[in-house]
Amino acid sequence: MNCPYKKNCIPPFLAGYTPQNMKIIGITGGIGSGKTEVARVFKKLGAKILSGDKIGKEVVEKNRSVLKKLIRIFGEGILNRNKKLDRRKLGKIAFSSIENRDKLNTIIHPYLLSNLREKIKEYRKKKKGVVVIDAALIIEWGLQKELDYLILVESSFQNRIKRLKEYSGYSQKEAINRIKAQIKDRTRRKYADYVIRNDKDLKELKRKVLFLWERLISKMS
């Protein structure tokens, strides 16, 4: 079939499948490995997506106790003229050192996780369907125990550096530091049910996700 190789085409027999019991699938992997691209294919297949990045942003923007804690740790320099959070300024300060990044994560992650768990709980009540969690730190949070399947997206060090430089504006040094600050794929592999290797083009990645989805369907039905 040609269809899976075309950019916006999902074969109807794959897109039409809804498991009778709600399935929660985690997608994890290092920075720049391609998690969000994998989640995008699942979205086309009909899954609901919960993005760790998005929930993290919501928490920072909407939760007043988080903002207060951020100001206490990083100072008023993270605010704009209207005393609202300036995400760029926060990013600059918080990612200037590993120590600052850890401080940021310590403040945000408990709120992010409880928000995420709340959303999972709500979806579980719905019974039917698929929810995909796109988050780099699923294993570090210990969240994998609460999921039905965990998919690990892996990509070579060189490819990840290249993507981080091209698409996320990191310098070579920043990209290396960010990758090195995370756990290694060989540790992630201990927890993963499936591994998707993302070292070729996006069409190939999509083909692999569809292949995996077929396998998951046969398990779920």
Judged by the rule CB under 6 A, the positions of this chain that interact with ligand ATP are 29, 31-37, 53, 136, 163, 167, 198, 201-202, 205
Nearest to 115 by CA among 78, 150, 65, 41: 65
Q: What φ, ψ does residue 151 adopt, rounded to 5°?
A: -105, 130
Sign of torsion over alpha carbons 163, 168, 172, 177: negative
Q: How far is CA 40 from CA 10, 62, 69, 134, 143, in A?
A: 12, 26, 33, 10, 21
In whole angstroms, how close is the CB of 121 to ligand ATP at the nearest point?
24
Nearer to ligand ATP, 31 or 220 (CB): 31
Distance from CA of residue 220 to its chain's centroid?
Answer: 23
3-state SS assignment for residue 23: strand
Nearer to ligand ATP, 33 or 144 (CB): 33
Nearer to ligand ATP, 23 or 35 (CB): 35
Nearer to ligand ATP, 22 or 27 (CB): 27
DSSP lists the bridge partners of residue 130 as 23
In whole angstroms, how close is the CB of 164 to ligand ATP at the nearest point?
7
Q: What φ, ψ does residue 113 adopt, rounded to 5°?
A: -65, -40
Nearer to ligand ATP, 68 or 98 (CB): 98
Query: Which DSSP string corresponds to 52-71?
Result: HHHHHHHHHHH-HHHHHHHH
In whole angstroms, how close is the CB of 204 to ligand ATP at the nearest point?
7
Amino acid 179 reads I
In whole angstroms, how close is the CB of 17 to ligand ATP at the nearest point?
23
In whole angstroms, how close is the CB of 90 to ligand ATP at the nearest point?
17
Nearer to ligand ATP, 12 or 169 (CB): 169
